[in-house]
Amino acid sequence: MLTPNIDLKNKTILVTGAAGFIGANLVLELLRTVEPVTVIGLDNMNDYYDVSIKEYRLTEIVQEAAKHSASKWEFVKGSLADKALVDGLFQKYGFAVVVNLAAQAGVRYSITNPDVYIESNIIGFYNILEACRNYPVEHLVYASSSSVYGSNKKVPYATEDKVDNPVSLYAATKKSNELFAHAYSKLYNIPSTGLRFFTVYGPAGRPDMAYFGFTNKLREGKTIQIFNFGNCQRDFTYVDDIVTGVKHVMCNAPEKKIGEDGLPIPPYRVYNIGNNSPENLLDFVDILQQELIAAGVLPVDYDFEAHKELVPMQPGDVPVTFADTSDLERDFGFKPSTSLREGLRRFAKWYKEFYMA
């Protein structure tokens, strides 16, 4: 077990992608559990998916922040690719901890819209690294992705595995983030930790994710396509478990050490955050429709079998994701634990309230 070396109290923290799924939930957790704290959120509020969900998340944050008078929440609308904006924020606030969750997400979208991935995931991350170099921080935590494992055959995926075979541009940008961070850690002694997230789901999640898209289509009476003829497995990880993992990591910056050559040993780590329990996509969809019926999103007599179609694999997809989380357990005594049924139950209840109330 690592001994925490950063106390988040009285610190100023930057969360990029603050209106995003993981970002908003992290901000809520920080406001609820760390007091006093100053959280600055940055997000460009793009319309890759329904902006009303991002606005809903920000409203939730404002309501939570109002309950904590000793803490401060401030939202900045802007792009990571705007170097002057990023530098200005670092200069103004002197961030102690930076959590970079802003990124253009989505594997399939990267096949048809590569430009936005280079702008956000490469140029944007470079701007964050440069700002951390010029305005030193105690810890940079950034989102990587399980997609970096690409076409690897060995499961579960371990952080020491080779990740040289990305099967999408999105995956390649995430791998490049890890390489950039390692170089900056070595050159400028910036403590950084990368987090490879595995298929995050939950209330107010991303509508481009399969479980959300399935729900929309089932509710509309459309047929859902289940890829790889239902033989895909995903390490579905509930958003609260992801946030707990991120918070543990934030408080534990890699130590700065000097090597025999007199130069820094890179203060750099990477962790998987996944459920360590892959679920078959067919089983996942079956539990989802059960919980949607229980929540009143679908009628009791819904004919699920008539609304599903088994189809081949999509370009950029992989047949299985499976996280080895032993490093996370060793260093923090933490392992994601929310069951798939419980997580989907909470999603179904939220969906009913958000779309059907």
**Catalytic residue list:** 170
Measure the N-to-C terminal CA separation of the chain; round to a whole number of Å: 45
Which residues, 6 or more positions from 284, have their beta carbon under 8 angstroms from its beta carbon?
211, 234, 236, 340
What does the block give as tokens for 332?
């923090």
| Cα pseudo-dihedral 293, 297, 301, 305, rounded to 10 | -80
Burial class (CB in 10 A: 0-12, 13-18, 19+), 44: buried
Amino acid at 18: A
Which residues, 6 or more positions from 211, have their beta carbon under 8 angstroms from its beta carbon?
201, 205, 284, 288, 344, 347
Contact in structure between 146 and 119 (CB atoms under 8 Å): no
Burial class (CB in 10 A: 0-12, 13-18, 19+), 221: exposed
- CA dist 306 and 288 (Å) reads 16
Phi-psi region of 284 (alpha: psi -120 to 50; beta: other; left: phi over 0): alpha
